[in-house]
Structures are given as C-alpha cells and as structure tokens.
Amino acid sequence: MTGTFGDHLVTGAADAGSRTALVFEDRTWTYAELDLAVRRVIARLDKSGVRRGDRVVMQGAARPEALITLFAVTRMGAVLVPLHPQVTGGELGVVCEETAPAAVVADEGFPAGPGLRLTWQELHPEDAGPEAVPQDLPSGSDIAVIAFTSGTSGRPKGVALTHDNLRWSMAGGLARMPFGDNDTALISTPLAHVAVLGGLPQCVWARRGTVILAPRFEPGLFIDLVRDHRVTCAFAVPAMSALLARHPRFRGGDLDTLRWILSGGSPAQTATREQFRARGIGVVDSYGLTETAAGVTYSAPDDPAGSTGSPVPEAEVTVVDAAGTPAPVGVPGEIWVRGPSVAAEYRTAAGPVPVTDDEGWFRTGDRGRFDTAGRLEVVGRLKDTIITGGENVDPAEVENALADIPGVVEVAVSGAPDPVWGELVTAFLVTDSGTPTLDDLRAHLDGRLARHKWPRRLCVVPALPRGATGKLQRARLTTLLDD
C-alpha cells in the first residue's frame, strides 16, 4: 500500500468535492471545504514554527477543529499526539515528558504544557486565512500519530502508529464492515479513540460518505441525530449500546435508518446484542487495540453472540498456550497479532521500545479462542483471570451471563482476595429497580455456568469505574467493596 494517512480526504476533495463530508451541530463541510480547512491549518502551524517530525499534543475533544487538526498535522509530516478531553495535569506531564511536543493545541481550560500553546480559536480563526500544501510529504513508514494507551494502571505508553499502520487498518475495515452506498456514520466518542483514528469515520470518508460528529454521547441526543440525519451506521462502545437499548425511544421509529453499529472496546453483551437484533439493527463486534491501529477482526451482523469475527485480510491472528504453541479450536489462550497495521514501537523519553517480538508478533495479553468457523471470541485479559480454589474463571463470561437479569443496568465481575479460596468471584451491579441478592444471581446462573463460576460476593454500586473511552477500569473494582 502506498500513500499517506489522509490521502482519502485529498482524493475525496478532487472527485467528490461538493458532497457533504462532515456535519457538526448546525455546520456542514463538503469534501472541498474540509480539505481547504486542513490546508489553512497547515499554513498556521507552519507559521507558528511547527515542522516535519515535531510532535503536536492535541486535546481530543469531539469537535470539528480536532478532526481538521488531525489531518493537518499528519499531512505536513508532523506527529499528532491526541489526548482525551478529561486528561489531568499529571497525565499531560507524562505525555509531554515522553514526546517533547513542539506545541499543544487545546481549549482555554486544558492543563498547561511545555512549548507553544495554541487555542482552537488561534488555529481555526473565523476569518479565512492563507492555505498551504506541503511540498515534502511524509512517507508511509513515518510516524503519523502517537496514541497513548488507556490502561487502567501504571504509566501510559505512547504507541507510534505510522501512516502505513493507519491506512492498513482502514483497508481492513473497508474489507469487513457491511458498508452500503452513501453511508452516513455517527461518531459520539472522544476523537482520541483509535477507532476514530483508523476506523469507522476514515472508512466512510474513503467511500465518500458523510460523518455526523456529536459533541458528546447522550442516548437521547444520539437518537435525535440518527433521526435528523438519517444515519445508517455508528460507533459505540458496549456501555453506550446498553444505555441506548434501555432508552424509552429505542423501539420507536427514530432509529429506522440505522442498519448497524460497530461495537469496540469489548464485545457487546448478549442481552444488548439481542435487543439490537430484535430492533432490526445489526451489531458488528470487532477486536483491536491501540497497538493494532483499531480492528483486526470484525464479525458479521449475524455471527453468534461473543464472536468478534475472523481476521481482516493481511492480518494474522493466533491463539497460543503458555508455551507459545497454537491452542486447539475452542481452547482459550493468549491472542497474538501480526500484520501491517501493528505498530512497531512505543515511543518513550528513553528511546523506542519494541511492540512486537523478533518474529513480528504482538503478544496482546488478551485471552481468546477460535471456533470451528475460524471466528475469534475474546474472553478477557490474562491478568484479569480469577483463580478461585485452583479453578480459572473468565470475568467476561460471568458478566455476559448476568447481563439480562431484570433491573440490572450494568455488570462487572472481578476477583476479591480471600485467604481460603485465593480469590472470590465478585459481581458489581448497577441497577435501576430493586436490589438482587446473591441467591437471585445464583438462581439466574443455574444451568448456564458451572458452580465454581458463580459469584460468592455481591456489591451494588451507583456506577462502574470507566475511563474516558467508556472502557471498564477493572483494577478499580475492588476499591468499591465494603470492608
């Protein structure tokens, strides 16, 4: 594959310039207008002293200026470092220490960082300004984005994604997602999410479709935008999908144009998936990580629950046992990934650190298994496996089995330390009516799961700990337990 990230926007401006590319609230950009906005930001960055190879930290708020800045920084050969809007001063300090940015682009309330600071207003003034087209374009092997992983503990790691990584990720999505003609996609997550950088919106733009950008996620607003813009596909993490399925308007006519949603971060739980299917909306589960520049597997809308589908073209995905030997079909092991969308290195202040082993495999730390049709099922993180009385329990399996208990809004499962059993399977529930008991949970699981997988402890909480992208922060669950 040749070219650089963002080429699809340039060609879109050339061959479909008058088509609508982006909508945000009451503003609309055609492909030609979006490309012009990118060129104008390139001119302002250049005038401010940003040069090829410089790192530019950007607050990844859900706003059009951030998308335009993404394309401008990468097109001029600089490196974008997108951060979630809720980043703290301490977290920003770590990022700046690791990347030594030449500039920080953010709103007025964003924590201060070193180097040049540009506000959205300064980089995107209302009056038209000069435009620029870089003469020295980056190569495919140049770093386009340093995306910091949203881990639940420890120091965050900056994944160096090249132009080639992002373009191969987009190619994989185009090959597997069920796009139609003239799609309109809704994006309502922070723009620092890797599924935005290398996933659904990039694919829609490559097909000359329209992206609707929501300023935030709220179920009612999501439904309004689908209705008002006749949205055909959308990206949602499982927590968002679950909230949508419980909204009073979910079964009304306002979602009639929505054909499918892409679920990322973890597979949609069975109960939520079935609610969408009954509503006539397909759920495409994907498996991918920051290190793989978004999805490396995508399910078909009619695949069985739990499946994240088969690998995209050019990607190799294997499941191995503790010795690194391929595991038999149906047997869980660690998921390894190899292919052109996989990053080569983490960028740190001390220098690059390899992402892959000597044979190019990225050892994900995730547990999964293949079914007889070659579809991947993700069953959890290796480090999240609960060992109770010498038996292994995958939290995701228990969560999925508990998700359809009446009155339960959200569920998470973790291991609580115990001097006798090692760990106790512990369920954390968010409810909207009533308070289930342990006996209720066990009655619900009777015949569904082996008894050693049943929760021995229950904690009803007002909310589950989640990161900026909606990912469950499992390591924080045990802090919710009463003494």
Asked whether 240 and 247 are in contact (CB, 8 A), the reply is: no
Q: Write down the pLDDT at residue 403.
A: 86
Q: Averaged over 100-106, what is the pLDDT?
A: 94
Local confidence band at 204 (pLDDT 50, 70, 90 cut-offs): very high
Give exposure, 123-153, as e/b (b: 16+ Cβ within 10 Å).
bbeeeeeeebeeeebbebebbbbbbbbbebe
Outline where 269-359 has alpha helix (H). 270-278
Q: Averaged over 285-307, what is the pLDDT?
A: 92
Q: Averaged over 296-324, what is the pLDDT?
A: 93
Q: Report domain extents, the chain.
A: 7-380, 385-480
Local confidence band at 153 (pLDDT 50, 70, 90 cut-offs): very low
CATH architecture of 7-380: 3-Layer(aba) Sandwich (3.40)
Question: Which percentage of the chain shows pLDDT scores above 70?
Answer: 96
Whole-angstrom Cα distance, residue 356 to residue 173? 22
Q: What one-letter code names the amino acid at 255?
A: L
How many CB atoms neighbour CB 382 within 10 A?
15
How many Cα neighbours within 13 Å face the side chain of 277?
16
Whole-angstrom Cα distance, residue 436 to residue 430? 10
> Tell me, which fold does domain 385-480 have in CATH?
GMP Synthetase; Chain A, domain 3 (3.30.300)
Give 86-127 as a DSSP string.
T--HHHHHHHHHHH--SEEEE-TTSPP-SSEEEEHHHHS-SS
Average pLDDT over the chain reads 90
Is residue 206 pLDDT above 60, yes or no? yes
Give 194-255 as a DSSP string.
HHHHTTHHHHHHHTT-EEEEPSS--HHHHHHHHHHHT--EEEE-HHHHHHHHTSTTTTSGGG
Local confidence band at 152 (pLDDT 50, 70, 90 cut-offs): very low
Short-list 472, 5, 28, CA closest to 199: 5
Considering the entire predicted model, what is its pTM? 0.85
Whole-angstrom Cα distance, residue 295 to residue 15? 28
